[in-house]
Amino acid sequence: MTVSVNEKPVIVTLNDLKHGINHETLTQAFGLNSLGIIVVKDLPQHFHALRLKVLKSASVLANLPEHELQQLESEESLWLTGWSCGKEKLASTGQPDFNKGSYYVNCAFHNDPSLEGPTQELTNQFENYKAYTTANIWPTSSHKDLENFQTDLKQLCNFIIDVAESVASNCDKFIKSIDETYETGYLKRIVKNSTCTKARLLHYFPTKATTSNRSDDDWCGEHLDHSCLTGLTSALFIDESKGLTSNLEKSPDPESGLYIRDRNNNVVKVNIPTDCLAFQSGSALQEVSKGKFKAVPHYVKGSALPHIARNTLAVFCQPDLDELVNDKENFAQYADRILKSNH
Helix ranges restricted to H, the chain: 14-19, 23-30, 45-62, 66-70, 120-125, 130-133, 149-178, 186-193, 283-288, 331-340
Could you list the pLDDT tens digit for every one of the 343 residues in the chain?
A: 444 445 789 999 999 999 999 999 998 998 888 898 999 999 999 999 999 999 999 999 999 999 999 999 999 998 999 999 988 776 666 777 788 899 999 999 999 999 999 999 999 999 999 999 999 999 986 778 898 999 999 999 999 999 999 999 999 999 999 888 889 999 999 999 999 999 999 998 987 655 444 555 555 667 777 789 999 999 999 998 898 888 887 888 888 888 988 878 888 999 999 999 999 988 888 888 888 888 888 787 877 788 889 899 999 999 999 999 888 899 998 887 776 655 4
What are the start-end ranges of the E strands in 212-288?
A: 220-223, 229-233, 236-239, 257-261, 267-270, 277-281
Closest to 327 in 3D by CA, of 282, 283, 288: 288
- What secondary structure does DSSP assign to 179-220, as a single string? -TTSPTTHHHHHHHH-S--EEEEEEEPPP---GGG--TTSSE
Closest to 339 in 3D by CA, of 197, 133, 132: 132
pLDDT of residue 212: 47
- Domains of the chain, each with CATH number or no CATH: 3-340 (2.60.120.330)
Q: What is the DSSP letter of 270?
A: E
Classified as helix, coil or strand, 225 is coil
Closest to 253 in 3D by CA, of 277, 280, 235, 274: 235
Give the Cα separation of 251 and 228 in Å (integer). 29
